Amino acid sequence: MEDHLAWRTHDTADELGYRYQSERVSELRPRWQALWLLRQGYTRKTVVHLVGIHPRTLRDWIAWYNLGGCEEVARHRLGAGNGPPCRLTYEQLDELAAWAAFGALNTYEDARQWVADTWQVDYSYDGIRTLLNRIGIHPRVPRPLAVQADLDAQEAWKKGGCVRHCVRTRRRALRG
């Protein structure tokens, strides 16, 4: 990776300053600010301090700029498809969604095992969780139940009656 900047003639300090001032994407603004400051003659150490980035980050931005100018710097975005492609096809994802809608998905482990058995595609627990969250599928996990829970009292409360609580409250009120 080259460590010097090969400025393009049309990327003047004014042009980079305009990009920095008018950028609406928060991820790109610091990049334009750093390049603008470098173009004005600030040292890399000063730019790292002013922008609040790691020196390695600045070196990456410089390498991207040298590779393809501002277009290449803007192309690198978090969550913009820079990761590996999905290991399942669109048809498989649709089938997985249908399987989950059917109610067969109780845990992430169930989904991981089903995908492995059905299509011989292995995912880790975190991998299948990320995949399912990305496509909007969430396992139906029951809420935890306290050991001391009184299911009859809960059902009575759901139906509009809270016998125990009401009786206790009346007794306390009568005592005074």
Q: Does the residue 31 lie in any domain?
A: yes
Residue 161 pLDDT level (bands cut at 50, 70, 90): low
Residue 149 has pLDDT above 60, yes or no: yes
Q: 70 and 45 in one domain?
A: yes
Q: C-alpha dihedral over 16, 17, 22, 23, to 10 degrees?
A: 50
Q: Does the residue 81 lie in any domain?
A: no
Which domain range does residue 36 map to? 13-75
Q: 69 and 17 in one domain?
A: yes
Q: Does the residue 85 lie in any domain?
A: no
Q: 62 and 27 in one domain?
A: yes
Q: 21 and 52 in one domain?
A: yes
Q: What is the pLDDT of residue 162?
A: 57
- Cα–chain-centroid distance for residue 41? 36
Q: 68 and 19 in one domain?
A: yes
Q: Does the residue 95 lie in any domain?
A: yes
Q: Does the residue 110 lie in any domain?
A: yes
Q: 70 and 28 in one domain?
A: yes
Q: 118 and 151 in one domain?
A: no
Collect all residues with Cβ–Cβ distance below 8 Å to 163 and sequence separation of at least 6: 153, 156
Can you read off the two tokens belonging to residue 57? Answer: 């980050």
Q: What is the pLDDT of residue 140?
A: 67
Between 117 and 76, the higher pLDDT residue: 117
End-to-end CA distance of the chain: 82
pLDDT digit string (tens) for 118-130? 999 999 999 999 8
Q: 39 and 64 in one domain?
A: yes
Number of structural domains, the chain? 3
Between 30 and 162, the higher pLDDT residue: 30
Q: Does the residue 117 lie in any domain?
A: yes
Task: Identify the domain boundary among 75, 102, 117.
Answer: 75
Q: Does the residue 114 lie in any domain?
A: yes
Q: What is the pLDDT of residue 3?
A: 59
Q: 107 and 58 in one domain?
A: no
